[in-house]
Structure 1
Amino acid sequence: MKAGNMTGSYLIRGSDKQGFLYALSVRSQDTVRHFKIFQNEDREYHVNSTSFFKDLYELIEFYKGKPVAKGLLLTTPCLKDESTGSEMSLIPLDEWERPRKEFELTEKLGSGNFSQVYEGYWIGKLKIKVAIKTISQDVVTQETFIRETTFLKTLRHRNLLSLYAVCSVGNPFYIITELLSKGDLLNFLRGCEGEKLNLDALLDIAGQVVDGMHYLEINSCVHRDLAARNILIGKNNICKIADFGMARFIKDEVYVSQSKEMPYKWTAPEALAYGQYTLKSDVWSFGVLLYEIMSKGMNPYPGLHNSELLRYLKKGNRMEAPHNCSDKIYKVMLDCWQENPQKRPTFNDLKISIDNLANYEPSEESPKHPAKLKEWLNKLKKPVMQ
């Protein structure tokens, strides 16, 4: 959609959805049209069932002469964005540092152990609303600031919080990010809007988190603090994973930390007992997060103190399913809570599981639900008035 791309401008991108490898995106007037590119048993590419191609280049050339949709011919590749910043970033990657005077804090949104988060404005060429995380400057928090901003600069995905700028001159430090209008997932689930969410919407939220975590997984990054309070919600219930203060890149299979600062009820047993974190540790945490989602914000392990948790888990105990949670969804939680990390699914496995649940476990409001289908069939049986 950037300036200079005219109708017919196109790009091919890899797809992380099940069933097709690539997607073709084409500029059409003021919108972008997206087409799935499939591959058949003969490894031929196609966007429909009439025209097949040995490679993507041949497919592109064909649709330059024949419309891929009514009145839409491919013309030239989309202009390449030379910036290496995130897609939401307003400044180049090598110019993250901005002067403090450009930012105005307005309303406090929340606080943590070392930081506070405000709604505010970035006052530059345009005055835009942003989220501003302030971190008091000392030796410990300086390491936290560097670590969190490093991750936000390095990792870019639609379901990860986007960094706009930083301010490391003066006290406190500022981390400036996109503002998600509905706040954190935990309070959202407990609020009026969260109370009205049906099963489809809850599974969509879970699926978005899995997409973001799968991206971290393939980049060998452990979040170590995956919980509903650290997922932010925006317009149309878009989810973004946030708070990378505890995140680490794993060079070996296991990252070892002796820090006692950990979210106990979201942390895997091997990390609680031995400080050992792997990519499968976040899978355990996702199981707890899925419990939060399906229970619409209930506290995990109600009535159980942190000091009792490890003993409780080592006896093979697990949380019971939330009220109205199906056996299939609860099984996903239990798979995440396997004692042996190697037996837990990967986030790629979870992507498939959540997609299948979304397809085959429709809510009562969905037209796919058996009750709705029965209602529809009954209507068909009624005689039509002439």
Structure 2
Amino acid sequence: MSKVVQRYIALWDFEGCGEQELSFKTGDRFQAVDSSKEWWIVERITAIGSRTGEKGYVPANYLGEEGSVQEQPWFFGDLSRTEAVNLLMKKGNTTGSFLIRVSDKQGFVYALSVRMSDAVKHFKIMRSDQGEYHLFHTHLFPDLTKLIDHYKTKPVMKGLMLSEPCVKDEPVAADFSPLPLDEWERPREEFTLVKKLGSGNFAQVHEGYWQGGLKMRVAIKTIKQDDTNREIFRKETAFLKTLRHRNLLALYAVCSIGDPYYIVTELLSKGDLLKFLRGEEGQKLSVDSLLDVAGQVVDGMHYLETKHCIHRDLAARNVLIGRNNICKVADFGLARIINDDCYVSNSREVPYKWTAPEALEFGRFTIKSDVWSFGVLLHEIMSRGMNPYPAIPNSELLQYLKVGHRMSAPRKCSEKVYNIMLECWSEDPQKRPTFNELKFTMDNLSNYECSEVPSKPTTAPKPPPKPRGLFAKLQTINK
């Protein structure tokens, strides 16, 4: 029996640059020669399937599997709720504009997002034991196309029918590199620093260009060369090379020859999450969008948890945000892979107000100390960038926490979300949730129009004792 050859169709025009890249038009067809990386080597084929002999690199995110759901204009693949809302609310979309996206939530594989006049509704697309798709048990469909066709003629909810697919943004080919993942070291001459974005104790971060096989905008962290920084550079790059996740910052290249060292990563257009939350756009985010941001951070940290990695510096300033509010955990200078249950460090160079009490007092860092930090980060998100414990100096914080005091809930923060923070701030690390459990909790905070996934039963933690004396004054100031 002859092997079926999978073919792909171009979903957008693409203009290649350089001899290795292949230009193409929407509707062109290809056969993959090497599809193991994010830039594929393909061979162009004709409409009747004949080979042309013309080969080259193409960005894989410009192609869809011929004859599959990927070919449909309403299918958007991996997309968060916030990304879906931002796309559907853009100019060019109207009431009834819609898209289907892949969901990583427990209990359903796809979600349907539909624009109303001033909001977006989300529907779970369930699948029966026989493989049929449905929004409601009363109407079952053999495939997604039939489901879409039905709700173009029948309302998906009162007064709302599907009209036209959401206007699709052309993907950004510059997000990907055809370089093999093991060829990290690049010549310094390939990089151009353009403007400084920020600085820390050991490094500066610049926006720049990588002018190797592609001319692409990148972020370049420069680390001055000395014995201490050489170790920081070695540990951070070794750590980044092991990571590959949608919500973690991607490493592109390094330059360890010459001074300073370069760590080259993807560039996220909106900068760090803390500045974003305090800015005009962040101040206008809905609660649902804020929870989506928090959920993306949990997804990235859950991946680290599965890799037995601890971050040790999880905070809004170390999360980056890009187009359509995609969030990525960054700054892995303090991160460690742990072979045992914990990592012990006597260093006092820690983010004090984000660090768990057992790490402050005994230097014991675990996945659960990262969970504590996430609780503080969640407070930053829901307060839109408020400083934690603003009236309490570092020297008094540990005692404040040891007697049971915690930050009060941010203004307009629901009890459910505040209870998540309190669970993350449990005095006993073993009583804090794992990131896997947090992922379940955050997934089920989202309100879908059709909910068939049972809520996970939780017990609200006991509220902390009321503060007295000096701490009462400090907390009054805090409020």
Q: TM-score range by the shorter chain?
A: 0.7 to 0.9
3-state SS in 2 of match to 1:189: helix
Q: State which of 48, 63, 66 in structure 2 corresponds to 1:7.
A: 66
Q: Aligned letter for 2:222?
A: T
Q: Is the Cα contact below 8 Å between 1:288 and 1:300 reproduced in 2?
A: yes
**1:299 — aligned with what?**
387
Deviation at 1:239, TM superposition (A): 0.3
Structure with greater proportional helix content = 1
Deviation at 1:5, TM superposition (A): 5.7
Deviation at 1:195, TM superposition (A): 1.1
Q: Is the Cα contact below 8 Å between 1:135 and 1:174 reproduced in 2?
A: yes
C-alpha distance after superposition, 1:147-166 (max 9, x if no partner): 11112111110000011111
Q: Aligned letter for 2:133?
A: N
Paired with 1:222 and 1:88, the residues of 2 have a C-alpha distance of 27
Q: Is the Cα contact below 8 Å between 1:222 and 1:279 reproduced in 2?
A: yes
Counting only pairs closer than 5 Å after superposition, residues 246-285 of structure 1 correspond to structure 2 as: 246-285=334-373
C-alpha distance after superposition, 1:137-177 (max 9, x if no partner): 11111111111111211111000001111111000000111
Structure 2 runs not aligned, ≥5 long: 1-9, 11-59, 71-76, 79-101, 111-123, 135-140, 149-174, 450-479
**1:337 — aligned with what?**
425
Task: Answer yes or no: is 1:123 the counterpart of 2:211.
Answer: yes
Q: Is the Cα contact below 8 Å between 1:107 and 1:120 reproduced in 2?
A: yes
Q: Aligned letter for 1:69?
A: T
Q: State which of 160, 180, 183 in structure 2 corresponds to 1:95.
A: 183
Task: Answer yes or no: is 1:69 the counterpart of 2:154.
Answer: no
**2:397 — aligned with what?**
309
**1:48 — aligned with what?**
133
Change (3 A) 1:148 1:89: farther
Q: State which of 210, 233, 237 in structure 1 corresponds to 2:325.
A: 237
Paired with 1:152 and 1:231, the residues of 2 have a C-alpha distance of 15
Paired with 2:345 and 2:178, the residues of 1 have a C-alpha distance of 35
Paired with 2:235 and 2:132, the residues of 1 have a C-alpha distance of 43
3-state SS in 2 of match to 1:299: coil
C-alpha distance after superposition, 1:188-239 (max 9, x if no partner): 1111111111101111100100110111111111000000000001001110
Q: Aligned letter for 1:315?
A: V
Q: State which of 268, 274, 283 in structure 2 corresponds to 1:186.
A: 274
Q: Aligned letter for 1:221?
A: C
**1:146 — aligned with what?**
234
Q: State which of 410, 414, 423 in structure 2 corresponds to 1:326.
A: 414
Q: State which of 244, 254, 257 in structure 2 corresponds to 1:169.
A: 257
**1:226 — aligned with what?**
314
Deviation at 1:71, TM superposition (A): 12
3-state SS in 1 of match to 2:207: strand
Paired with 1:46 and 1:243, the residues of 2 have a C-alpha distance of 43
Paired with 2:228 and 2:132, the residues of 1 have a C-alpha distance of 54
Q: Aligned letter for 2:354?
A: W
Would you identify which runs of 4 or more consecutive aligned residues in structure 1 move more than 2 Å? 1-6, 8-16, 36-40, 66-72, 87-90, 355-358
Change (3 A) 1:47 1:208: farther
**2:245 — aligned with what?**
157
Q: Is the Cα contact below 8 Å between 2:246 and 2:328 reproduced in 1?
A: yes
Paired with 1:234 and 1:268, the residues of 2 have a C-alpha distance of 29
Q: Is the Cα contact below 8 Å between 1:227 and 1:288 reproduced in 2?
A: yes
The alignment yields a C-alpha RMSD, in angstroms, of: 2.8
Q: State which of 190, 194, 215 in structure 1 corresponds to 2:303.
A: 215
3-state SS in 2 of match to 1:359: coil
Q: State which of 355, 358, 362 in structure 1 corresponds to 2:443.
A: 355
- How many residue pairs match? The answer is 318
Q: Aligned letter for 1:48?
A: Y
Paired with 2:126 and 2:411, the residues of 1 have a C-alpha distance of 40
Q: Report % sequence identity.
A: 66
3-state SS in 1 of match to 2:133: coil
3-state SS in 1 of match to 2:182: helix
